[in-house]
Structure 1
Amino acid sequence: MRSALEEAHAESARLTVRLQAMEQRLAAGRALASARRGAEDDDAVIGEAFEDLWSLTAELEEANARLARETAARRAELAAVDAALHESEERLRLAHRYAGAGAWEWDIPANTVTWSAEYRDMLGLGPQAQPTMESWMGGMLSEDREAVERAIRRMLQDPDMSEIEVEYRARHPGKGILWLSGRGRLQRDAEGNPWRLTGLSIDITARKRAEIALRDANENLRREVEKEVAAREAAQAGVTQTLKLEALGRLTGGIAHDFNNLLAVVSAGISLLARTEDPARRERLTGSIATASQRGADLTRRLLTFARRQALRPEPIALSPWMGELGAMLSRSLQADIAVEIEVAEDAWPLHADPSELELALTNLALNARDAMPRGGTLRIAARNTVLDGTEDPDGLRGEFLRLDVSDTGTGMAPEVLARAFEPFFTTKAGSGSGLGLAHAYGFARQSGGAARVRSQEGHGTCITLHLPRAAEEASAPAPAEAAAERPLRVLVVEDEEAVAGLVLDMMRHLGHAPVHAANPATALEMLVRGLEPDLVFTDVLMPGGMDGLDLARHLKEGRPALPVLLTSGYGGAPARVAEAGLPLLRKPYTLGALRDALTAAAAGRKAG
């Protein structure tokens, strides 16, 4: 549009110049006519001049008309642009007002600030308030001012920064404290120096108050939940304590029942032995007493394992040959209509466990499976590697384990029986069974650093799973034991129970040894200081007083490292300390043959050492 107006003006100017030239020619013609009155040539010249003048006048009028039209169109266009600009400014003003936004501008070289009317309304500032950086900063709360100043200073100093976003609180004279969010863009001059900062501030008070209210509500909810959880935990602790007391009652009742039966056999057998001279009857009575004694020993052993008080002697076990021997033994022991299947993965790792306790645990599980298959079936023991990450196991086990699955095709367990399967002295075998078979397996697995699980369904058999830790080293084949020459030994027996000590001394004398008794470790050390030179020290683990059998063994290791020590205990003693001592342990009660073998092995160990 501007170029058309310029062209119209230029055309009008050209026509005006031509008109002036024609007027000059006309004036010249008139002067010539007055000088040549009546000449026809002059009339012709004047006629041509008038024709040119009329033609030029028409062109000038047309150009003026076109110029008027172009000017009117330009004015209409400018009016439309002005109206659109006014409408856009009004929309922006309304957007700022309804969005709670106010515009501001900071001329940095001149240090002058401009506020929009919306920004003044937002802060409750009247027309008399002077917009300066100082008054803008002064309206902020002191807790937020330093952070805003630091953000602006960093933006002015960093040539790569062109935008700023800050949140701050300002004090409104009527509304109190407001939360504002400011965003601005920095413009720089040709030299890169800060020139002008333009931006908007938005009132975010409602959002912030909602966030604070939500945070407070969450905090209150958290406290309420903690109180509720604490109350439930207290209630659960009470219930658990009650259940523990009930379980303890069942446990003590079961122990009392079983031991009363065993003691009845022993006491009755002893009474009858004193009243009979028949060798065959005395042999039967002696056998019954020995069987009762062995059952009592097995009972306490299972209890100690369940309570994780048994002193285990873990070692690397190569599963393939070990499980093969176990399978052969079970095939001979179980009834003929039960098939025994042993499956060990080819890549199975060596197992870290006490071999005798593992054998006892698997034997107990096999006997339970046999009782669940009165019409025969299949007993399957499978071993494979497994890696637990702590998420899939209820006890949070992590690491590499051997998984032993002992499954049967028997009658299975009802849900109420399954829930109490590992409970000591819980049994469904009326009139037989102590209820310690599964409890022993559970305690053995836990004490070994693993876990025990049970899955069962009525009519579909049972599967007991033991997770036992992988051995850190490969299992080595046992070296052939050298037969130790049995010879009389001078044994220092340290035992605080006089009755037990008397029997042990008699057993050793029967084996041909020369025992010497000390009632406690302190007496034993005094005897050694006075010159006693025993071949072996046989000491109980747990004894009253300030020193027990393990303390005595430690003193002997320091003063007489070549003197072998054989431990004995019916409790298992502090199992961790017993295992750390690395000394042989003979568990009470023991037979004459077990005592003979233990003394022989201890003496052989001294010679080998």
Structure 2
Amino acid sequence: MQQRAPGVTATTETGGRTGPSEVERLRAALDEARTEAARLTERLRGAERQLLASRALVAARRAGGEEDDPALGAALEDLWTLTSELEGANAALGREVAERRDELAAIDAALRESEDRVRLAHLYAGAGAWEWEIPTGRFTLSDGYRALIGAAEGPAVFATWLAGILPEDRPAAERALREAAEAGLPEFELEYRARHPGRGILWLAGRGRLQRDAEGRPWRLTGLSIDITARKRAELALRDANENLRREVEREVAARETAQARMTQTLRLEALGRLTGGVAHDFNNLLAVVTAGTSLLARTEDPARRERLTANINQAARRGADLTRRLLTFARRQALRPEAIALGPWLADIAALLSRSLRADISVETEVEEEVWPVLADPSEMELALTNLGLNAQDAMPRGGLLRIAARNATLDGTEEAEGLRGDFLRLEVRDTGTGMGPEVLAHAFEPFFTTKAGSGTGLGLPQVYGFARQSGGAARIASRPGYGTVVTLLLPRAGEAGAAAEAAQEVQERPLRVLVVEDDEAVAGLVLDMMEHLGHAAVRATGPADALEKLASGLETDLVFTDVLMPGGMDGLDLARALGRLRPGLPVLLTSGYGGAPARVAEAGLPLLRKPYGIGALRDALAAAAGG
């Protein structure tokens, strides 16, 4: 029988069969049955001896001629009956003992079969069992566990078992077992590595259960350890493979990014070449008009011809100004003046303008969502963008058609657009029923100087629309199919407050001004001074910001400073304006530039800006507005 500590509660059952506790009960019952059989046998033998003695006494009395004693006869009968009962009880007890012996033999056979199955399962699963008696520290290892870790035969204690674990895993294994024993955790599990003398390092997974004595104290830990070396090696191999794959992917991505960067650089250079060629072509045409016109203007006295040549030169100048304006808008270098625009009235005015400007066979319709939000944009640039789209639509509808402009609110979450726009926007859709574009044309639609209008197009209409939308903080999209028309979508940010559709013109009382003109270019400065004199203003020129500050410091009195934005040296026009704000607070400053330079800085300054080139009328209005403000 298995030895147990006193008072230990055995709880183990094996595979649904009768467990060790049932075997012990049957063994105890068998021992009691054997003791009872011995006692009955002894009583039976005593009764037989008494019966024999009584029979001998009766026989002796009969031989002496004595009569039978009735009482003695009755006693003999009782003794005979008792002997018969004892013989029956002894026989029944013998049969019970035989039955218990057979039952015990069957249980022993079943237990041996179960143990054989467990040993076979442990062998094929690479597992082994162990027990740790906590009070004594005795470690019991199964044959399967010894074979698993390559341990020699002999007694084992906790310290020797622990020594077989690799030093790196030993503290964690000891801590897990002692925590289970001291804290009384019902179950525990751990993974550790052990060194096998023949197979090297093995990975083992252990799971166990705590048993308590009758007083509830931890008494024994019973555990099962399984060889998981193959699984661990597969996991490590998979991890290494994933790491190698990650590095390979990183190398491939880096190589592709390098190739993409080279391709992008090549495309940029090609685009730059096309842009340079387009600008040179258009400006050469404009300069040819100006050069030939001025040459002829000096050689003719005919007033009509002089007027025609002057008109051509002015038209060439305006075309050059419009060309640079569109280029700056596409490059997002134009200084925008965004304001809140109520789209309903504004689109109604634009639709009326387009209806008058486009051919009579083209209908213009607007569709504005109810309670549409105000949009934050530069009104003049947005008007130019819608005009460009209207002219493009007209060219795409040679037989007439419908141009529809729709406006609706849109709240974006960063996933709808490639730019990752988030927040409230206004979606403007300009749709035509024209011939449409194929994929090869659509791919270049927003590129500057790309045009399909032979001899009549500049290729800057759609690029201006794209640049305006991006610089305004939004995006531009185009979709088209041959035969199904084209739709251009503008996403523009929502304004905080609705503005008026058009600001009321401010009446400014014109008066002679003392103007300090800050311009580094001699030719431009001469023309500006001439225009100032023609307008009746007294103008003094400064060659740069330092010269302007020096003149003011020397006592020059002026009503307004008119300064270019971009100038060489350490200061530009914006720096000069900030310096004047400190030295001469309240002195009006009017900026002028043909190139926005730093649009964000220009917009941040909040100063009026007169774009180059400008005529004498635009200069008069700008000076009056700046001085009156």
Q: Given the two structures, how large is their TM-score scaled by the length of structure 2?
A: 0.89
SS at match of 1:142: coil
Q: 1:146 is matched by which residue type in structure 2? A: P
- 1:428 aligned partner: 452
Residues 93-129 of structure 1: CA deviation (Å, up to 9, x unaligned): 111122111212111111221112222222222125x
Q: CA shift at 1:142, angstroms?
A: 2.0
Q: Matches of 2:92 and 2:47 in 1, distance apart?
A: 23
Change (3 A) 1:4 1:555: closer
Matches within 5 A, 1:19-30: none
Find the counterpart in structure 2 of residue 181 from structure 1: 205
Deviations 1:495-527 (A, max 9, x none): 111111111111121111111111111111111
Partners of 1:29 and 1:123 lie apart in 2 by: 76
Q: How far off its partner does 1:475 sit? A: 3.2
2:613 to 572, 575, 589: 589
C-alpha contact 1:316 1:352 (8 A) present in aligned 2: yes
Give 1:390's aligned residue: 414
**Residues in 1 aligned to 2:153 and 2:40: alpha-carbon distance in whole angstroms:** 56
Letter in 1 for 2:108: D
Check whether the contact 1:169–1:179 (CA below 8 A) recurs between aligned residues: yes
1:109 aligns to what? 135
1:355 to partner: Cα distance: 1.4
- C-alpha separation between the residues in 1 aligned to 2:521 and 2:277? 27
Three-state SS of the structure 2 residue aligned to 1:179 is: strand
Distance 2:482 2:542 in 1: 58
The corresponding residue for 1:134 is 159
Offset of residue 588 of structure 1? 0.5
Q: Is the CA contact (8 Å cut-off) linking 2:133 and 2:139 kept in structure 1?
A: yes
Matching residue within 569, 576, 591 for 2:593: 569
Cα deviation, residue 11, structure 1: 9.8
| Number of corresponding residues | 602
Give the letter for the 1:136 counterpart: W
Alignment of 1:161-560 (within 5 A): 161-475=185-499, 480-560=504-584
Partner AA of 1:103 in structure 2: A
Q: In the alignment, is the contact (CA less than 8 A) between 1:324 and 1:342 conserved in 2?
A: yes
Cα distance 1:56–1:83, how it changes in 2: closer, same or farther (>3 A)?
Answer: same
Deviation at 1:292, TM superposition (A): 1.3
Q: Secondary structure at the match of 2:291?
A: helix
- Determine the C-alpha separation between the residues in 2 that align with 1:569 and 1:119: 90
Distance 1:449 1:479, change over 3 A: closer
Which consecutive residues of structure 2, in runs of 5 or more, have no partner in the other structure?
1-25
| 56-65 or 67-76, which deviates more | 56-65
1:79 aligns with 2:105: yes
What displacement does 1:256 show?
1.0
CA distance in 2, matches of 1:281, 1:89: 123
Conservation of the 8 A alpha-carbon contact between 2:44 and 2:87:
no
Cross-structure match for 1:152: 177
SS of the residue 1:537 aligns to: strand
User: How far 1:397 sits from its partner (Å)?
Assistant: 1.9
Q: Is the 8 A contact 1:380 1:408 kept in 2?
A: yes
CA distance in 1, matches of 2:243, 2:31: 73
Letter in 1 for 2:354: L
Post-superposition Cα deviations, 1:346-375, rounded to whole Å, max 9, x if no partner, equal: 232221211111111111111111111111
| Contact 1:454/1:463, CA 8 A, preserved across alignment | yes
More moved, 348-357 vs 522-531: 348-357
Output the CA distance in 2 between the equivalents of 1:576 and 1:443.
15
Q: 2 CA distance for matches of 1:26 and 1:93?
A: 60
TM-score (norm 1): 0.92
Task: Supply the AA of the counterpart residue of 1:235.
Answer: A
Aligned 8 A contact 1:308 1:443 in 2:
yes
- Over the residues paired in the alignment, what is the CA RMSD in angstroms? 2.7
- The answer for the alignment partner of 2:12 in structure 1 is none
Equivalent residues of 2:340, 2:377 under 8 A apart: yes
- For 2:335 and 2:88, the matched residues in 1 are separated by 125
Q: Which moved more, 1:150-159 or 1:300-309?
A: 150-159
1:157 to 1:362, Cα distance in 2 relative to 1, 3 A: farther
The 3-state SS of whatever aligns with 1:347 is coil
How big is the shift at 1:66? 3.2
The 3 A distance-change label for structure 1 pair 4 and 81 is: closer
Distance 1:12 1:82, change over 3 A: closer
Structure 1 gaps, min length 5:
none
Q: Is the 8 A contact 1:496 1:519 kept in 2?
A: yes
Residue type at the aligned position of 2:157: T
Distance 1:355 1:158, change over 3 A: farther
Residue 38 of structure 1, CA deviation: 6.2
The CA deviation at 1:70 is: 2.6
Q: Hey, what's the Cα distance between the residues in 1 that align with 2:308 and 2:79?
A: 164
